[in-house]
Amino acid sequence: MSSSVYYMEPNNTQLVHFVSTAGGHVEIKDIVYAISILLTFLLGVWSLVQSYRVARKTKFIDIVTSQRVKWIEQLRQDISSFSGLTYTWCFSEIEGKPQEYEVLKEIDRLRHVIRLRLNPTGKHDQMIEQLIAKIPNLTHISQREQLTKALKELTITTQKLLKEEWDKVKLEAEHGNLKKDKK
């Protein structure tokens, strides 16, 4: 049951005819428009959800990667300070002088900080931890050659650990995946 409305436009001599479809038939173009609008809405919602997921994942990876870079730099600084202070203390003549206490205090602090930065299950981390524990016992004048060798081994092992970690950072940045440690 459709109803018709006729009216004349004010400045026009044409008669305009409107047909109301309320209670009458629905045209196919109306169905296509409705489906198009619904699909557009659903695609918009899906796109919004995907964008949110990608943004969260990207933010998480950026945070982890930046923290890993900071950790790498801090470990490098701590190991170099530990090695330098230990070498200076052993090979200089500060034993018994006022600055000896401060140097020993800083060496001891660095020993503990370095251990706290390491992964207790990592291969290179465990080697560094063993060297950090061993080195202060090699400071006697008769063990200077062993101390030099241990400090060199500490440097090489730390370089290997830092290289592994840097490779992880590069992979995370390139591929957006956080890799599990396989140490």
Count structural domains, the chain. 1
* Count of C-beta atoms within a 10 Å radius of residue 91: 13
Cβ neighbors of 95 (< 8 A, separation 6 or more) are: 89
In a domain, 31, yes or no: no
Domain range holding 115?
Answer: 62-175
What's the rounded Cα separation, in Å, for the pair 174 and 166? 12
Weakest mean pLDDT among 10-14, 99-103, 153-157 = 10-14
Secondary structure (3-state) at 141: helix
The predicted-structure confidence for 56-86, as pLDDT tens digits, reads as follows: 888 888 888 889 999 999 999 999 999 999 8
What is the sign of the dihedral through the CA atoms of 56, 62, 64 and 67? Answer: negative
CATH code at position 130: 1.20.120
The predicted-structure confidence for 107-160, as pLDDT tens digits, reads as follows: 999 999 999 999 999 999 999 999 999 887 766 666 788 888 999 999 999 999
In a domain, 26, yes or no: no
Global pTM reads 0.66
Q: In the structure, what pLDDT confidence band is assigned to residue 17 with cuts at 50, 70 and 90?
A: very low
What is the sign of the dihedral through the CA atoms of 132, 134, 135 and 139? Answer: positive
In a domain, 57, yes or no: no
